[in-house]
A = this chain, B = another copy of it.
């Protein structure tokens, strides 16, 4: 799903306007991460990359960077697709969820805690999981039905609102099914990153060192650790 011409699997952007409001503080153009934050971002990106390389339908990782860019991105992992895609299958969507959760799981495994840096990943993962359950019929319990009614709020704004058109009881099943999908994906990321812990540490080390790592270096590292 994250395929096509290449995009940030994790851009770590948008620490959510609301959190920003609480954090207040000034916004600097040229960000320089302190060593502790740099280390966290390196593990986060390494987590995305390793899960992407170890799920059945993951596209190859082309480049990883932890140079802060633009307004909000602290790092990114770039996957390149083999061919153009117009459809996503259920297994592809599930792999995508695991890749998205890989960054946060890596932070927890290596540094013992999660951070605000994963918010954007959680948003994307929740949106994909909700789509699978509510708009793609991919829940056994809920069946091949559409749950909810989406409408654009304002012409041209692109902002979409979702009207709930089902009962409270159904809403509980929807919640549980979305949660189950995400937690299954998290568990898959935990299993992959735990079994690839040495690679995770080395890739994070390499990232802290060089800040940008290309496919050849990633491949070398992965093969050296088989």
Please give the residue numbers on chain A whose beta carbons come within 8 Å of chain B beta carbons, in ascending order: 1-5, 7, 15-19, 21-26, 28, 31-34, 37, 40-41, 68, 74, 83-91, 93, 101, 104, 111, 113-119, 122-129, 131, 135-138, 142-146, 149-153, 158-172, 174-175, 178-179, 182-183, 186
Assembled-state Cα–Cα distance A161/B152 (Å):
12
Q: How many copies does the complex hold?
A: 6
With A119-B135, A167-B174, A172-B169 as contacts: A25 and B5 at CB distance below 8 Å: yes
CB of A125 within 8 A of CB of B144, answer yes
Residue numbers in B under 8 Å from A124 (CB-CB): 22
Q: Shortest Cβ distance from A37 into chain B, in angstroms?
A: 5
CB of B37 within 8 A of CB of A86, answer yes
CB of A127 within 8 A of CB of B18, answer yes
Q: List 12 A-B contacts (CB under 8 A).
A: A4-B26, A7-B24, A16-B135, A18-B127, A18-B135, A22-B128, A31-B84, A74-B86, A93-B116, A118-B137, A127-B146, A129-B145
Assembled-state Cα–Cα distance A138/B136 (Å):
25
With A135-B119, A136-B114, A136-B118 as contacts: A145 and B126 at CB distance below 8 Å: yes
Residue numbers in B under 8 Å from A163 (CB-CB): 161-162
Residue numbers in B under 8 Å from A136 (CB-CB): 114, 116, 118-119, 122
With A22-B128, A127-B22 as contacts: A33 and B115 at CB distance below 8 Å: no
CB of B137 within 8 A of CB of A114, answer yes
Residue numbers in B under 8 Å from A91 (CB-CB): 113
Residue numbers in B under 8 Å from A114 (CB-CB): 89-90, 136-138, 144
CB of A167 within 8 A of CB of B165, answer no
CB of A169 within 8 A of CB of B175, answer yes
- For the A-B complex with A119-B136, A144-B183 known, give 8 more contacts whose Cβ atoms are closer than 8 Å: A16-B135, A74-B86, A74-B87, A122-B136, A126-B145, A129-B145, A161-B163, A164-B165
Closest residue of B by beta carbon distance from A152: B17
CB of A87 within 8 A of CB of B117, answer yes
Assembled-state Cα–Cα distance A186/B68 (Å):
36
Q: Which 9 pairs, one residue from A and one from B, show the smallest C-beta to C-beta distance? A: A4-B25, A167-B171, A126-B146, A167-B172, A89-B115, A34-B83, A87-B115, A90-B113, A88-B116
